[in-house]
Amino acid sequence: MDRSRLSRVYLGIRIWRAPASVLDVAEQDKGQRRARPLWMFNQGFLVAVSNPKALIFFAAFLPQFMAPGVLYPVQLAVFGGTFVVVEIVYELLLAVMAQRIAPWLTRHGRWFNRAAGVTFVGIGAALTTASR
């Protein structure tokens, strides 16, 4: 049996048994100073730019869309700019949705953990019984 399949079952059981996470922003702000937005942006930018997986992805994915006869720096700027805009919109949407569901997760976190645990156990069980 594949270890990755069993690990999903194990993770599902761990999530099921985990206590609900409680995030109290007001309590965190008392003892810590807030991070500055520009500093957080710079940190995120440095992590994203230095990510070798992203560089390999772009090196493998973008050339198939390059048009011969058009300057490559222009194409790269268009493709890169499109990716940046889509990524910013996506990340902002995730942040807004996370902010909106945070109160619900505070109230119903235990049930959320159980649903996620059942999902992981189910996926692990399905993968374990699946044949190639």
Ranges of each domain in the chain: 3-129
Are 10 and 118 contacting, i.e. CB atoms less than 8 angstroms apart? Answer: no
Q: Dihedral sign for Cα 6, 8, 11, 13, please.
A: negative
Q: Which residue has the tokens 């996926």?
A: 123
CA distances from 16 to 8, 56, 74, 120 (A): 12, 36, 50, 9
> Which of the residues in the chain have pLDDT under 70?
1-5, 22-34, 131-132
Task: Report pLDDT for 110.
Answer: 83
CA angle 48-78-68, nearest 5°?
Answer: 120
Task: Report pLDDT for 93.
Answer: 93
Show the beta-strand stretches assigned E in the chain: none
40-64 in b/e burial notation, b at 16+ Cβ within 10 A?
eeeeeeeeeeeeeeeeeeeeeeeee
N- to C-terminal Cα separation, the chain: 12
Task: Report pLDDT for 90.
Answer: 92
Task: Report pLDDT for 58.
Answer: 81
